[in-house]
Amino acid sequence: MTARSEQELRDSRRRLFEAFPRTAEPDAILHFQSLLAEEILRTENEQQIEESQLRKLHLRAVRLYGDGVAHRLLSAYAIRQLSRNSGKPPNLIGQGAAFQLVKDCAAEVARHGVPPLLADLTNVVRNGDLILCLDPNSPRIVECKSSKVKDARFERQGRRGRQLARFESIQAFLDEGRGRIFGEENERITVEIAHTPRFSFSTVNAIVKSALAHKPLALTPSPDEFYAAALEGETADVSAALANLKHKKGDHIAIGRSLDPLQSGVWETPPPVLWKVDDSAKWALMEGDVTVSRAVRVETFVGLARGDTRVESLVHPKGKVPWAYAIVVGEERVTVLGNVILDVVYGHQTLESAGEMLLEQAEKAAALIRGVAQRIGV
């Protein structure tokens, strides 16, 4: 087998881009994932001959299309639960007949009208072999095994036991909306948000197209946010846009780049192949030909209010997101993690929409606290 050149790898990604399913129809979803699996297996075979950083990055870029399938079929809420695991996607080539079994099960599931998602074809889904996407918020996690443990007493021991416990805790949480995820101390409770997010994809589309025309661009749609876009090897003049960005000493600025998901980490926001932008912009962003940077002043939501709900201050918890908001709702004071910032800088939700979501999250959390207090007579 002859290893492919950089251009040949790019051509393979282009074929996946053009084949990406436009709907959640089970047969289309299954067919695309078959193409995806073939590309991953071919690349892994090439890596066995000679390991290459280029092919490593290619595998990550290819699995972004698997992430796109996940976001096509599931809510961000469900994906967040299914991503609760460490490590990286396993090699397919070493799985042999085991992966063929997963593919066969997926084909049978699709034949019965249920869209299947093969977890190992994604970067983001890290639990189970096969996800049955019956409900965007509550899919079924399936582990495909060709044989049973010889002694059932050992089923719950060691790595296999921990794996089963994690799957079961996640599945129970998705089904019931509350529970403890295996390995965590605190109970989680789901709060449903009615708010429908709005996005600034028209701005993204415009600045990417400008970059593709060799016109790097930077702008401030509002005093609290900043956008820049440029082709690889080119740079936007950001001085005027930065001068319009409202900030004072001590403010925190969150910055996200469209290139970040291509390089590292697990990202819960949909990849550009799903964004409402022109196909030329989708392709440029999926390839990293154009990088879009978005910055937002984290304090922009402090002081935001409606009714008796008001964002009081910024706080700094330990964890993945270093910001949270202390919010007063009537007589209750709640803390809401700053995930809305990630939705803004990586998912391109508008600031106004993110602010409305933050307030609703606080109101729902306060209502939950009041309900618990009433039940226990506090």
pLDDT in tens, 164-213: 778 788 888 888 878 888 777 777 888 888 999 999 999 999 999 999 99
Q: Using CA atoms, how far apart are residues 64 and 280, in angstroms rounded to an integer?
A: 17
Element (H, E) at 164: helix 158-176
pTM: 0.91
Distances in whole angstroms, Cα of residue 188 to Cα of each of 52, 161, 325: 42, 22, 19
pLDDT in tens, 236-288: 998 888 888 888 888 999 999 999 988 876 677 899 999 999 999 999 999 99
Pairwise CA distance, residues 187 & 173, whole Å: 10
Domain segments of the chain: what residues? 6-147, 201-376
pLDDT one-digit tens code per residue, 46-104: 999 999 999 999 999 999 999 999 999 999 999 999 998 877 888 999 998 999 999 99
- pLDDT at residue 370, as a whole number: 84
